Amino acid sequence: MNVLLTGGLGYIGSHTCVELLNAGHQAVIADNLCNAYGSVLDYIEQITGKRPIFYECDVQDRDAMERVFTENKIDAVIHFAGLKAVGESCRIPLAYYRNNLDSTLTLLETMERHGCKRLVFSSSATVYGPDNPVPYREDMPCHVATSPYGWTKAMIEQIIRDYVSANPDFSAVLLRYFNPVGAHESGLIGDDPNGVPNNLMPYIARVAGRQLEKLTVFGDDYDTPDGTCLRDYLHVVDLAKGHICALDYAAERTGVDAINLGTGNGVSVLELLHTFIRVNGVDVPYVIGGRRDGDLARCYANAEKAERVLHWKTEKTVEDMCRDSWNFIVKHSK
Ligand code: NAD
Ligand code: UD1
């Protein structure tokens, strides 16, 4: 299958590209490099022995997308491209709405002109909002997002649902990711955020690497076993493989379906931190600080649907996630 990956040089897109190529598919990437490096293409080639076709372009750019679809016969699209930082989305909401919504609209219009009818979309557990009880199930109502970023995911899910209603021969899978962490075992690709990371695992890894002084644990007075928040961390390589299963699922059917990609387990901040310290034999200084605005005590998936319909479940452990995140930092900072 010839698959277009929008945002394919980013963290999740690059790992998915590796799995796609390893599974014998062809990959075309469209990425404007607003949060990625061109060198990731070389790393993908180093890992797989194959080089994807690459367009440095904005998915909002109609002419550029027309060229991508004219020059390649695209069988299916995985739409990763988007801005993803929750805090930043509160500061510059219009940029988030413009980028995330426009890129999706331009993509769908181009797919329509070219008769491409298969889409996998990168949604997020954030669509469950603050009011649903854990574990989150796909049939729960998703009406209240808590940030402009979250609203873009909820809105795009709705745009895709409306498009599929009007085009019943179209097939779309909305993948709701939980907390992807870890890196490819080669250490060549991984999560490489610009500036000071907002997310826990890259922050821990940079403290361990002495690039940051100490971790602040945001609150230990939650109603959880050790007082710190529970999240559903999953290894990015497991997540990447979920996309191949979703492409197969989309090929078998029409309509739209939302599916959680998570482990189904809640792991606390302190558990993740102490696992990282133990498996890597490193020191990670930390202090307990106040709660971070907007954090929920618990966020984890009911992961049964993915197993039932995609025949996918996570295989890697929290130890694997910690080891591979550290390996990436060690190899990357050389
Ligand atoms: P990322 O920032 O590493 O990758 C996104 C890629 O899209 C980047 O390479 C960026 O350069 C590109 N991009 C952004 N806007 C673009 C545009 N208009 N045109 C072309 N390229 C564009 O992020 P990621 O972690 O790989 O996330 C991929 C997708 O998964 C995003 O949609 C994100 O919202 C979603 N998601 C991520 C997480 C997570 O924890 N990483 C969780 C849930 C959902
Ligand atoms: C955040 C986003 C979510 C997004 C996800 C993955 C928010 C409110 N939510 O989720 O939409 O899908 O990232 O990109 O931002 N923590 C610390 N110290 C730190 C950093 C984090 O204690 O320096 C804690 C947090 O309080 C949280 C846990 O670690 O309990 C995980 O945080 P993070 O990695 O930012 O992910 P989420 O908040 O779950």
Q: Rounded to the nearest whole angstrom, what is the distance from the C-alpha of residue 8 to the centroid of ligand 1?
A: 8
Q: If you average pLDDT over residues 78-83, what whole number do you get?
A: 98
pLDDT value of residue 193: 84
CB 4 within 8 Å of CB 78: yes
Q: What is the pLDDT of residues 222-246, one digit of tens each?
A: 999 999 999 999 999 999 999 999 9
pLDDT grade for 42, boundaries at 50, 70 and 90: very high
Q: Which atom of ligand 1 is nearest to the CA of 34?
A: 11
Query: For residues 314 and 156, what is the distance between their CA atoms, to the nearest angstrom?
Result: 26
Tell me which of 80, 136, 198 to substitute to probe ligand 2's pocket, judged by most ligand atoms within 8 Å of the beta carbon.
198
Q: What is the pLDDT of residues 88-120, one digit of tens each?
A: 999 999 999 999 999 999 999 999 999 999 999
pLDDT value of residue 194: 82
Residue 32 has pLDDT above 70, yes or no: yes
CB 121 within 8 Å of CB 173: yes
pLDDT above 70 covers a percentage of the chain that reads 100
Pocket of ligand 1 (CB under 6 A): 6-7, 9-13, 30-36, 58-60, 80-84, 99, 103, 122, 124, 177, 180
Q: Can you give 275-317 as a three-state secondary structure string? A: HHHHHHCCCCCEEEECCCCCCCCEECECCHHHHHHHCCCCCCC
Q: What is the pLDDT of residues 208-225, one digit of tens each?
A: 999 999 999 999 999 999
pLDDT value of residue 334: 61
Nearest to 230 by CA among 182, 176, 301: 301
Q: What is the pLDDT of residues 182-203, one digit of tens each?
A: 999 999 999 988 889 999 999 9
Residue 262 has pLDDT above 80, yes or no: yes
Residue 267 has pLDDT above 80, yes or no: yes
pLDDT grade for 143, boundaries at 50, 70 and 90: confident
Q: What is the pLDDT of residues 292-320, one digit of tens each?
A: 998 999 999 999 999 999 999 999 999 99
Residue 44 has pLDDT above 70, yes or no: yes
Q: What is the pLDDT of residues 157-191, one digit of tens each?
A: 999 999 999 999 999 999 999 999 999 999 999 99
Query: For residues 267 and 319, what is the distance between their CA atoms, to the nearest angstrom?
Result: 12
Residue 254 has pLDDT above 80, yes or no: yes
